[in-house]
C-alpha cells in the first residue's frame, strides 16, 4: 500500500468510501438525492485543501450539509466508514492526516449539529 499522494488518490478514497457508505442502512437515505458525480469534484477539492494545502476550496463545509436529514449518531457511522476505507487503501503520513482530520471534522460537526438542531 502507498500513501495518499495526489487528487487521483483522494478520488479513489472518496469513491470507495461513498460506495461503502451507501450500502449502510440509515446512511443511504441521507445521500440518496445527491448527484455524486456532480458533487465529487467538490469533495476532492476539499480533501486536497485539507491534505495538501491546495488552494481553491472556499465553501463552508458545514453549511453545505445543513439541508441533509442527518441524525447525530450518523456522524459516527460516517467516521467509522471513512477510517475503514482509508485503512483498506492507504498507509502513510497523509493517510494518517486524513483520518485525524476526519475525526476532528466529525467531532466538530456533531457539536455544531447538536447546537443547531436543539434550537
Does pLDDT of 68 surpass 80?
no
Of residues 105, 111, 101, the one with CA closest to residue 61: 105
Helix axes 7-21, 36-52, angle to 10 degrees: 130
State the Cα–Cα distance between residues 44 and 116, nearest whole angstrom: 27
- Give the model confidence (pLDDT) of 3-22 as tens digits: 999 999 999 999 999 999 99
Mean pLDDT for the stretch of residues 103-118? 82
Tracing cell 436543539 back to the chain, one arrives at 118
Nearest to 47 by CA among 84, 98, 2, 89: 98
Spatial distance between the Cα atoms of 73 and 95, rounded to a whole number of angstroms: 24
pTM for this prediction = 0.89
For residue 99 the three cell numbers come to: 483520518
pLDDT band at 106 (very low <50, low <70, confident <90, very high): very high
- Determine the CATH number of domain 7-117: 1.10.490.10
- Domain ranges, ordered by start, for the chain: 7-117
Amino acid at each position: 500500500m502507498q500513501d495518499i499522494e495526489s487528487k487521483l488518490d483522494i478520488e479513489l478514497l472518496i469513491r470507495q468510501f461513498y460506495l461503502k457508505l451507501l450500502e449502510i442502512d440509515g446512511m443511504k437515505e441521507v445521500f440518496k438525492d445527491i448527484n455524486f458525480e456532480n458533487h465529487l469534484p467538490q469533495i476532492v477539492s476539499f480533501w486536497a485543501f485539507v491534505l495538501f494545502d491546495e488552494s481553491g476550496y472556499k465553501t463552508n463545509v458545514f453549511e453545505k450539509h445543513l439541508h441533509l436529514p442527518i441524525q447525530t449518531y450518523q456522524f459516527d457511522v460516517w467516521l467509522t466508514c471513512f477510517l475503514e476505507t482509508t485503512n483498506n487503501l492507504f498507509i502513510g503520513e497523509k493517510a494518517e492526516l486524513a483520518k485525524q482530520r476526519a475525526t476532528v471534522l466529525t467531532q466538530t460537526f456533531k457539536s455544531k449539529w447538536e447546537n443547531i438542531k436543539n434550537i
